[in-house]
Amino acid sequence: MSLSTLLVLADGRLPAGAHAHSGGVEAAVAAGRIHDLPTLESFLVGRTSTSGTAAAAFAAASCRALTTRPVPHARSGDIEAAPLDRARLTALDNGARSAARVESLTDHRGALRDDSVRPAERITALDDGIDARTASPALRAASRAQGRALLRAVARIWPAAVNPAGPNPHHPIATGIAAAAAGLGPREAALTAVYGGLTGAASAAVRLLGLDPYTVHALIARLAPECDRVAADAAARADDPVDDLPAGSAILLDLDAERHATWEVRLFAS
Amino acid sequence: MRPDKRAVRIGIGGPVGSGKTALVAALCRALATELRLAVVTNDIYTTEDADFLRRAGVLPDDRIRAVETGCCPHTAIRDDISANLDAVEELEERLGALDLILVESGGDNLTATFSKGLVDHQIFVVDVAGGDKVPRKGGPGVTTADLLVINKTDLAPLVGADLGVMARDAQARRGDLPTVFLSLVGEPGAAPVADWVRDRVAEPASTPRHHEPTPAHTHGP
């Protein structure tokens, strides 16, 4: 796994549309629920433990569906996750599952995982799973808009990316696709999802409230270990059935998103 | 959609209040009957510019798309153009073949310019009431835009702006790049700018104007 590639994917300057989404902060600021650092902190902690945790889980699972199982690196002992190439994905989807299963039983170094569902089916099921977990139609639309924007960037940055999801997947699915295309693994996909959700919302609060950027970044640094924990959990559950994956949601985020979408004047898309 | 020849995309940027939206409205009035055109607006208040165009009755509602920019209008036209590309492509998909798409920036400052990944040409609009020193200050907008529009010349005597100084400074900054003086009071059709736009639409593209690769769907479920 390349740390610098993880930074490329997680960089807030990646041209993937994130700057125009506040993660619910614009609506929460207007409602008076976020007005200073402590209220921002409680918002970010709540968001990370609900929608952030769900996004991390689905990003990890999507990445896992498109990568081989982690194997010990021959030289350094690092864990590597290799992206599936198109030929292997097609072979899997053409019903070569039993062959893959045999391969995974007989050769654990680089073998395709023992997969009871085909990768494209798994991706579709994961995408449906996010729909089921997202009560607000406005949030669903915002997630798909961000997924589309991320895939636009991925198609230009990693042209060999395998995308079984169509042009408008949910954002966590696109994050998993991006991570797989970049040669990253489920944990890094999850980390990108949960950390991006945290910093995107925090950055929106800085812009909307004029909060001291140093204190906000100190807050992000305090919450960084929580991002690591969420990402590790998500990676450990990357093969779980969709119905068993985290389903955290925050009712106020849903309600706020619906109201926000009807505003005559808004600065952020969501 | 024409796979090899998409609409010409022209960005219109410039400081707050310099008259970008009024210029877009004038261009729509002048060109809507001869070109298939649509507008993407990036005003920080999502619907305000779009509503202005609708009220002016210059373009049907379905030919105007508004984009939110998250308090950063320059980011949306330069550093992260994805929302604007989505809007442009959505218009082309929904309306069919177009000749021209105008992308209006939210009001920003003298350093805001459009990415070449978003537009083919850009117009920078400043106005005489902003001070006749603006062309001398330069900045990427004034210096590099394909067309500089110095707007509201009718106000020059009222604000003590010297148009001769502005013309001289603009030429010093811009070399051979064209500058146009405009007053939409005297010339509501913005004829010199409309002519420049017509030329851009008519000329063969210096590089093929291919569609951006949209997010690929490499393998169906």
Where do we find the tokens 């506040």? A22
Q: Which residues of A touch B (CB under 8 A)?
A: 13-22, 86, 89-90, 93, 118, 120-121, 123-124, 145, 148-149, 151-156, 161-168, 204, 207-208, 264-269
Question: DSSP per residue over B11-44, as a string?
Answer: EEE-BTTSSHHHHHHHHHHHHTTTS-EEEEE--S
Q: Is B57 left (phi over 0), alpha (psi -120 to 50) or beta?
A: left
Closest residue, chain B, to A160 (C-alpha): B218
Longest Cα separation, chain A: 61
Q: Is residue A8 part of a domain?
A: yes
Angular region, B178: left φ>0, alpha ψ -120 to 50, beta rest? beta
Please indicate, yes or no, if residue B75 is contained in any of the structural domains.
yes
Asked if B89 has any chain A CB less than 8 Å from its own CB, the reply is no
Residues of A in contact with B76 (CB under 8 A): 19-20
* ipTM of the modeled complex: 0.83
Q: pLDDT by residue (tens digit) across A12-30?
A: 999 999 999 999 999 999 9
pLDDT attached to residue B91: 96
Which has more confidence, B210 or A114? B210
Closest alpha carbon to B81 in B116, B51, B47, B48: B116
Reply yes or no on whether the pLDDT at B148 is more than 50: yes
Question: CA–CA separation, A176 vs A189, rounded Å?
Answer: 5
Q: How far is A13 from chain B (nearest CA, A)?
A: 8
**pLDDT in the model for residue A57:** 98
- Give the model confidence (pLDDT) of A218-252 as tens digits: 999 999 999 999 999 999 999 999 999 999 889 99
pLDDT recorded at residue A102: 35
pLDDT, greater one: B43 or A215: A215
How does residue A121 score in pLDDT terms, banded at 50, 70 and 90? very high
Picking from A13, A152, A266, the nearest residue to B82 by CB comes out as: A152
Residue B31 lies in a domain: yes
The answer to whether the CB of B204 falls within 8 A of the CB of B120 is: no
- Please determine, for residue A98, whether its predicted confidence score (pLDDT) is greater than 50: no
DSSP state letters, A81-108: -PBPPHHHHHHHHTTTHHHHHHHHHH--
Lowest mean pLDDT among A7-11, A139-143, A146-150, B183-187: B183-187
Of A19, A89, A269, the CB nearest to B219: A89
| Residue A123 vs residue A248, higher pLDDT | A123
Is the alpha carbon torsion for B40, B115, B178, B167 positive or negative? positive
- Does A246 map to a domain? yes
* B215 pLDDT tier (thresholds 50, 70, 90): low
Report the binding-site residues of B for GTP: 14-21
Check CB contact under 8 Å for B217 and A207. no
Give residue A231's domain range. 3-82+119-260
Specify if A141 maps to a domain: yes
Cβ atoms B16, B109 nearer than 8 A: no
User: Which of A163 and B58 is assigned the larger pLDDT?
Assistant: A163
Is the CB of A152 less than 8 angstroms away from the CB of B215?
yes
What pLDDT shows up at residue B59?
A: 86
Domain that holds residue B184: 8-202
Closest CA to A62 of A174, A207, A222: A174
pLDDT at position B205 is 73
Does residue A112 carry a pLDDT above 90?
no
Chain A residue closest to B217 (CA)? A166
For position B52, what pLDDT does the model report? 75
Task: Please state at what angle helix A186-209 crosses helix A37-47, rounded to 10 degrees.
Answer: 150
- pLDDT given for residue A111 in this prediction: 38
- As a whole number of Å, the end-to-end CA separation of chain A is 33
Question: What pLDDT is attached to residue A174?
Answer: 98
Q: What integer pLDDT is reported at residue B49 of this predicted model?
A: 67
Give the model's pLDDT for residue B58.
Answer: 80
Q: Which residues of A touch B219 (CB under 8 A)?
A: 86, 89-90, 93, 120, 162-164
| Total count of residues recorded for chain A | 270
Report the sign of the C-alpha dihedral through residues A159, A173, A19, B11, in that order: positive
- pLDDT band at residue B220 using 50, 70 and 90 as cut-offs: very low
Q: Does residue A103 have a pLDDT over 50?
A: no
CATH, residue A53 = 1.10.4190.10
Residues of B in contact with A86 (CB under 8 A): 218-219
Contacts of A118 in chain B (CB under 8 A): 221
Lowest mean per-residue pLDDT among A36-45, A257-266, B1-10, B26-35? B1-10
Q: Which range is most confident: A103-117, A140-154, B104-118?
A: A140-154
Comparison of pLDDT for B21 and B52, the residue scoring more: B21
pLDDT of residue B56: 72
Contact A167 B76 (CB under 8 A): no
| A209-220: burial string, b at 16+ Cβ within 10 Å, e else | bebeeeebeebe
Do the domain assignments include residue B166? Answer: yes
Strand intervals (E) in chain B = 8-13, 37-41, 64-66, 100-104, 121-127, 147-151, 179-181
> Between chains, do B44 and A21 touch, taking CB under 8 Å as contact?
no
The answer to which of A140-144, B69-73, B93-97 has the lowest mean pLDDT is: B69-73
The number of CA neighbours under 13 Å toward the Cβ of A141 is 9
Stretch among A22-31, A77-86, A194-203, B154-163 having the lowest mean pLDDT: A77-86
Domain count, chain B: 1
How many domains would you assign to chain A? 1
- How long, in residues, is chain B? 221
The reported pLDDT for the residue numbered A100 is 40
Q: Tell me, what's the pLDDT at B158? A: 95
| pLDDT band for position B207 (cuts 50, 70, 90) | low
- Contact criterion met (CB below 8 Å) for B69 and B42: yes
pLDDT at A82: 60
Residue-level pLDDT at A214: 97
User: What does the mean pLDDT of chain B come to?
Assistant: 88
Which residues make beta-bridge pairs with B8?
Answer: B100
Asked whether A179 and A188 are in contact (CB, 8 A), the reply is: yes
Quick check: B82 contacting A, CB < 8 Å?
yes
Nearest by CB to A15, from B44, B81, B212: name it: B81
- Put simply, the answer to whether A161 touches B82 (Cβ < 8 Å) is no
Is position B181 within any domain?
yes
Q: What's the whole-number average pLDDT of chain A?
A: 87
Residue B213 falls within a domain, yes or no? no
Residue B1 domain-assigned (yes or no): no
pLDDT confidence of residue A110: 39
d(CA B198, CA A213): 46
Q: Is the pLDDT of residue A97 over 90?
A: no
Nearby residues of B99 by Cβ (< 8 Å), 6 or more positions away: B7, B8, B35, B36, B37, B201
B2 assigned to some structural domain: no
Q: Is the CB of residue B84 less than 8 Å from the CB of residue B77? A: yes
Which among B34, B36, B75, B68 has a CA at the least distance from the CA of B49? B68
pLDDT tens track for B61-80: 899 898 999 888 899 999 99
Q: List the Cα angle B53/B56/B60 in 5-degree steps.
A: 60
Assigned domain for B208 exists: no
Q: Is the pLDDT of residue B144 over 50?
A: yes
Test A162 with B219 for CB contact under 8 angstroms. Answer: yes
Contacts of B221 in chain A (CB under 8 A): 93, 118, 120-121, 123-124, 164
pLDDT beyond 60 at A104: no
Beta bridge partners of B9: B101
Question: Are A1 and A185 spatial neighbours (Cβ–Cβ below 8 Å)?
Answer: yes
Which residues of B fall within a CB distance of 8 Å from A123?
Answer: 221
Per-residue HEC secondary structure of B35-68 comes to: CCEEEEECCCCCCHHHHHHHHCCCCCHHHEEECC
Q: Give A89 or A269, the one with higher predicted confidence.
A: A269
Contact B72 A207 (CB under 8 A): yes
CA distances from A62 to A134, A174, B174, B219 (A): 17, 8, 51, 15
Do residues B101 and B24 touch, judged by C-beta distance below 8 A?
Answer: no
| CATH number of the domain that residue B12 is part of | 3.40.50.300
Query: Residue A92 — very low, low, confident or very high, per pLDDT cuts 50/70/90?
Result: low
Query: What is the percentage of chain B residues whose pLDDT exceeds 70?
Result: 88
Per-residue pLDDT at B2: 38
Q: Residue A236: what are its φ and ψ, rounded to 5°?
A: -65, -25
